[in-house]
Structure 1
Amino acid sequence: MIDVSRFVRLASAVAAISVAMALPASARDEVREDPAVVAERLQHMGFVEWRKIRWSHGNWKIDSAKRANGHIYDLELEGGSFDLVRLRRERG
């Protein structure tokens, strides 16, 4: 049996953990930077059109999102999970 030093085993473990932690973060950044994913989520929530989608301080902000019933909202979605953070109906 090959005798592997404790240092080599520790270095291998640290490298494996670093790679495992880096992969989800890079995938999350790709999703965060893609407004098409946000548009898909908005359609799933029942919105048919919107004026503007922008990234701000860790959240997606959507201006003038319109539902099929004609009501218009400004809303904010959490960056990673796309959970609803704020929903405000516009007057009119």
Structure 2
Amino acid sequence: MKRTPQGWLFNDEEDSRKGKESSVNQDSDKEFSLNLEFEIRVNDRFKRTSKRINDFNKSLTTLNEKMDILFKHFIEISSSSEGSERKNVDDISEETTDEESSELE
């Protein structure tokens, strides 16, 4: 592929055009520069959009990691509090059985 004032051409297209047009006038030079400016602007826009997407992806990854840590701590806390509640219930039931047995005697 080669770049010409008319745009990008494949090698076989270029050979067929050489027979038709041998000289390039100034109007096509202006058109070429306008196309080049447009391509530069589009390329810059894509770069900025790509950077925003990458930054957003990094932010989501960071938030996801933080949420995983929070869920892990929540599960640990809830499981430890359930264990302590069970111990408290067992202690209370032992106390009541001790009191009932002492009352019966």
Larger Rg belongs to:
2
Judge same fold: TM > 0.5, yes or no: no
Q: Could you tell me the TM-score, scaled by structure 1's length?
A: 0.36
Higher helix residue share: 2
Higher strand residue share: 1
